[in-house]
Chains A and B, each alone.
Chain A
Amino acid sequence: MGGYSGQELAAIFVMQGFSGLSLFCVFLLMALGLAIIFGQMGVINMAHGEFLTLGAYITWLVSELATTSPWLQQVYFPFAIVAAFAGAFLLGYIVERLMISRLYHRPLDTLLATWGLGLILQQIYRSTFGPREVSVGMPDWLMGSWAVSDMIDIPLNGLFVMGVTLLMTVSVVIMMYRSRWGIKLRATTQNRLMANAAGINTKRVDRFTFALGCGIAGVAGAAFTTIASTGPTTGSLYIVDTFLVVVFGGAASLLGTVVSAFGIAQSQSILEFFLSGSMAKVITLLVVVGILMFRPQGLFASKVRR
């Protein structure tokens, strides 16, 4: 650290913190979907990363369509996000119908089956889009950066991803705690039998919940394309980390998910500057696993009767 002045260190801290924020957004967007599926339904969706990849590829397809006119290229992005959500939602719905719904009482088996689904999806992506990574042609307003001071540059695409993340988080919170569906979902989680007795169609709630979680992963994929390129295995790179984020935050707690995604992403990217990238990740994950051994219920445990 010797060669840096205080001002430089502060600038490094801000920039590194900002790149941590981008990582935080990817984690959070992915973890939001997982937190709904895993935290509320107890289903382990190992193919969640592949839903993210699906969203990213859909965004790429839309962007390819949009290259036909320069005007379309400026405005396609919001539509791409909607398409990514719809695609992933639909696939999630079908998967729930055909596979997950038969495995609700066998969580460990769901894990294996969805891993298999993930493998198949990866191979389909590889055969359809090729093994090479594709990158989305970005509209002009997403390029460039915002110079806060002469040493600090904040990239605009990062800001955009943050906006999307904030929007998704807020809407998930509203849906969970302020909507009829949220009440039904929470009732089903707390006591399935009683929810059934109260006239809630819990099967439909399950289906919608799973599909919604997948749809959010699709949006995560769309946001992801603005900060990195997409390959067939893009999503699976993050799956282990994201599960750790959800478990660390406390499975059924949205606030916990946000806090733990922030903590893990920030410590990883700040450590990255002082150590090598791999060691930063090892240390962060080890600390998380260590804390989980002392506090298995996660940071913010909610009291749910299982």
Chain B
Amino acid sequence: MQNWISAFGGRQRLLQLAALAVVLLVVLPLTLDIFRLNLIGKYLTYAFVAIGLVLCWGYGGVLSLGQGIFFGLGGYCMAMFLKLEASSPENTAIQSTPGIPDFMDWNQITELPIFWMPFHSLTLTVLLILTVPALFAFVIGVAMFKRRVGGVYFAIITQAIASIATILIIGQQGYTGGINGITDLRTLLGWDIRPDSAKYILYFLCCVLLILCLLIGQFVLSSRYGKLLIAMRDQEDRVRFSGYDVANIKIFVFALAGIFSAIGGAMFALQVGFMSPTFVGTVVSIEMVIFCAVGGRLSLIGAVYGALLVNLAKSLLSESFPQLWIIFMGALFIGVVLLFPRGLAGLYEDFVQPHIDRFLASRRKPALVKHEQAAEPAPTSGKPQEVTS
């Protein structure tokens, strides 16, 4: 039992995770109506990306500004499957070529392109959602990390790739739906995803997947690999001289972050009912980074809260003061970087955690407390962790 607890990040982390699970699975569904809950579900899909960034950027020191690509890959895979189901020959009988998605028909395409073929099957679709981003991340990773491209260069190149992906999707309207994206998604294996009951189920599915991803993340960080990851971020050469292949460590974490993002993208398409190139490009990719930074780049759970809070602030502010929102977002970027590099998680560790510890300590035998503290992984050092490259 003790082994299991420490394998997933220690007792404290698991308690925090349980608290998050209670908030997501019990508190929010009981207090919010389905419209708001669906919005929360949408924000949670961004949290998948933010978790990936914590692993990749916070712990690995590899900042990718192209996580939108993976979010988009997952989202488009799912949307393509749903779209094919929605464009059965009966539904599209009025088109000049029935049985293909409506936007293809508008663009005078008369046959389903080959790369759409696998998306007739849900099994294949799910497989592709998990493997395509991993493969793509692997290719980018091998090409760049094996040649020791890192830090700033990696950020710029991933951003360029995100920008290329957006232009490509918008330009190839007949195959991708262009700027409007893939819209009008209706059923999943005959199950209507639009009514409220379906939205509840999808929300819970999204939460469960998110918690699974968090557990995987904590498992990775608590393993020997997690230690290597931190060592590599802080002293890359020393890890290399110790005989490890630094590139492989980076490739793995980048691919894992990509898979998480793709799961988020797929859940986005399911819950929101469309997918468009807006969620692929550079702007959204860098916004994802700020969700992660606000939550705390060294805290997986913090990233979830970060994604939720920033987006809630966005929807509240942009409803009443649309101009203020952008300024707020910009100030958030600057403020988090200059004043709170450890984000919300840092504030929590500095101001809330000591009180909780004291409260717990006063209710326990002193000897036990000491033992507990020794078993905990050493908290991250008091100074903000600097990401050097």
Contacts and interface: CB of A to CB of B under 8 A. Distances in A.
Contacts of B330: 116-120, 123
A116 B332 contact: yes
Nearest to B386: A106
Contact of A116 (B161, B333, B386): B333
Given A108-B63, A243-B160, A282 B171 contact: yes
Contacts of A289: 157, 160-161, 164
The A contact surface, by secondary structure, is: helix
A117 B160 contact: no
Interface string B159-171: 1110110011011
B5 interface: no
A5 interface: no
B370 interface: no
B164 A106 contact: no
A99 B338 contact: yes
Given A247-B157, A276-B171, A285-B164, A107 B152 contact: yes
B109 interface: no
B155 A282 contact: no
Interface in B144-189: 144, 147-149, 151-153, 155-157, 159-161, 163-164, 167-168, 170-171
Contact of B337 (A103, A127, A276, A294): A103
A122 B327 CA distance: 9
Nearest to B334: A116
A76 B130 CA distance: 60
Contacts of A111: 63, 65, 152, 155
A123 B388 CA distance: 31
Interface residues of B, number: 45
Contact of B329 (A119, A243, A244, A247): A119
A111 B337 CA distance: 10
A105 B293 contact: no
A278 B170 contact: yes
A293 B161 CA distance: 12
B333 A243 contact: no
Interface in A74-127: 99, 102-103, 105-113, 115-120, 122-124, 126-127
A143 interface: no
Contacts of A294: 147
Given A111-B155, A282-B167, A282-B171, A293 B338 contact: no
Contacts of A220: none
A279 B337 contact: no
B289 A278 contact: no
A304 interface: no
B147 A113 contact: no
B304 interface: no
Interface in A255-290: 276, 278-279, 281-282, 285-286, 288-289
B290 A281 contact: no
Nearest to B61: A108
A108 B152 contact: yes
A56 B164 CA distance: 27
A285 B168 CA distance: 11
A112 B159 CA distance: 13
Given A119-B326, A120-B326, A247-B153, A296 B144 contact: yes
A123 B327 contact: yes
A1 to B, nearest CB: 21
A107 B337 CA distance: 11
B171 A278 contact: yes
A108 B333 CA distance: 12
Interface string A231-246: 0000000001001100
Contact of B341 (A109, A117, A240): A109
Contacts of A278: 167-168, 170-171
B168 A282 contact: yes
Given A109-B387, A127-B323, A282-B167, A116 B157 contact: no
A288 B161 CA distance: 10
Interface string B348-389: 000000000000000000000000000000000000001111
A44 B65 CA distance: 13
Nearest to B281: A240
Given A115-B333, A244-B160, A293 B147 contact: yes
Nearest to B336: A112
B333 A107 contact: no
Contact of B156 (A109, A115, A243): A243
Interface string B274-318: 000000001000100110010000000000000000000000000
A272 B289 CA distance: 33
B179 to A, nearest CB: 11
B32 interface: no
Nearest to B161: A289
Contacts of A44: 152, 155-156
B331 interface: yes
A17 B326 CA distance: 39
A110 B387 CA distance: 11
A293 B144 contact: yes
A118 B282 CA distance: 14
A156 interface: no
A281 B155 CA distance: 20
Given A106-B388, A123-B326, A292-B149, 14 more contacts: A109-B341, A112-B293, A112-B333, A113-B333, A113-B337, A116-B330, A240-B159, A240-B160, A240-B282, A243-B159, A244-B156, A244-B160, A289-B164, A294-B147
22 contacts: A42-B152, A103-B338, A105-B386, A106-B337, A107-B388, A108-B63, A109-B341, A112-B290, A113-B334, A113-B337, A113-B338, A117-B334, A119-B327, A120-B327, A123-B330, A124-B327, A278-B167, A281-B167, A288-B160, A289-B160, A293-B147, A296-B153
Interface of A: 38, 42, 44, 99, 102-103, 105-113, 115-120, 122-124, 126-127, 240, 243-244, 247, 276, 278-279, 281-282, 285-286, 288-289, 292-294, 296
- A-B interface, 3 closest residue pairs, ranked by CB to CB distance from nearest: A116-B333, A278-B171, A119-B330
